[in-house]
Structures are given as structure tokens and as C-alpha cells.
Structure 1
Amino acid sequence: MLAEYFVVIETVGLNLFFAFIFIFIGLSINDVMKKNDVPKMGRYVVYLVLFLGCAGFIAKGIIQLVWESQGVG
């Protein structure tokens, strides 16, 4: 049974790994900004860049899912 679902397990594990990495990056950036007293505008820019990076991975996953369901990939 494990051999049949190896690709699915691998994909879910990789997606969870990326989610945890983005969470840890966000927490570490938040800690550094609080310790260095960064202005609010700077914090907003940093969080926007972090969100856009995360959104890129989400968009890639959605595009990949759609293409594979249509038989393109």
C-alpha cells in the first residue's frame, strides 16, 4: 500500500515542509524586526514580500494541479 501512495505522501510532506519553513521564516523576521525597532511601513513591506513568496508557491501548486488534471504535465 505504501508503494502505491508514495508520490502522494511525498507531495503532501513537501508541501507541509514548505509551510513550516515559511512559518519559521516569518517568526524569525518578526523577532528581528521587534528587536531592532523597525518602523511600521518597513514591517508592512517585509510581510508583503514574505506573503508574495508564499503566494508564488501556492500559485505554482494550483497551476500544477490544474495542468496535471487536464493531462498537460
Structure 2
Amino acid sequence: MLSQYMVQIEAIGLDLFFAAIFFFIGMAIHDVLKQGKVPKFGRYIVWSVLFLGCAGFIAKGMIQVFWEGVG
């Protein structure tokens, strides 16, 4: 039974891995910004770039799910 769902388990595991990577990148960026005493404008730029990267990753996943569901 486990072998039937192996592809789904791998896909979910990969998504969770990427979510963890984004979380750790965010924590590292937060630490660097705090230690470097970066002004607010610079922080907003950095966080907006990080957010857009995450949003692009999520959009890619949603497009892939919808694309595979149609075909």
C-alpha cells in the first residue's frame, strides 16, 4: 500500500523541505538585518524580495497542480 502512494509522499516531502528552507533563509536574513542595523527602507526591500520569491514558488506549484489536473 505504501508503494502506491510513494509519488505523493515524495511530492509532499519535497514541498515541506522547500518550506523549511524558506523558513531558515528568512531566519538568517532576519538575523543579518538585525546584526547589521539596516534601516527600515532596506528591510522592506529585503523582505519584499523574499516574499516575492516565496509567492513565485507557491504560484508555480499551484499552476503545476492545475495544469496536470486539466490534462
TM-score by length of 1: 0.95
CA apart distance, 1:68: 0.6
| Deviations 1:7-64 (CA, angstroms, capped at 9, x unpaired) | 1000000000000000000000000110010000000000000011111110010000
Listed as ranges, the matches of 1:9-24 within 5 Å are: 9-24=9-24
1:70 matched to 2:70? The reply is yes
Find runs of 4+ consecutive structure 1 residues off by over 3 angstroms.
Answer: none
Structure 2 CA distance, aligned partners of 1:45 and 1:16?
Answer: 26
Q: Which residue in 2 is equivalent to 1:55?
A: 55
* Number of equivalenced pairs: 71
Q: SS of 1:38's equivalent?
A: coil
CA apart distance, 1:2: 1.2
Runs of 5+ consecutive residues of structure 1 not aligned to the other structure: none
Structure 1 CA distance, aligned partners of 2:54 and 2:41?
Answer: 20
1:7 matched to 2:7? The reply is yes
Structure 2 CA distance, aligned partners of 1:64 and 1:36?
Answer: 39
Runs of 5+ consecutive residues of structure 2 not aligned to the other structure: none
Q: Which residue in 2 is equivalent to 1:30?
A: 30
One-letter amino acid of the structure 2 residue matched with residue 48 of structure 1: S
TM-score by length of 2: 0.97
Greater relative contact order structure (CA < 8 Å, 6+ sep): 2
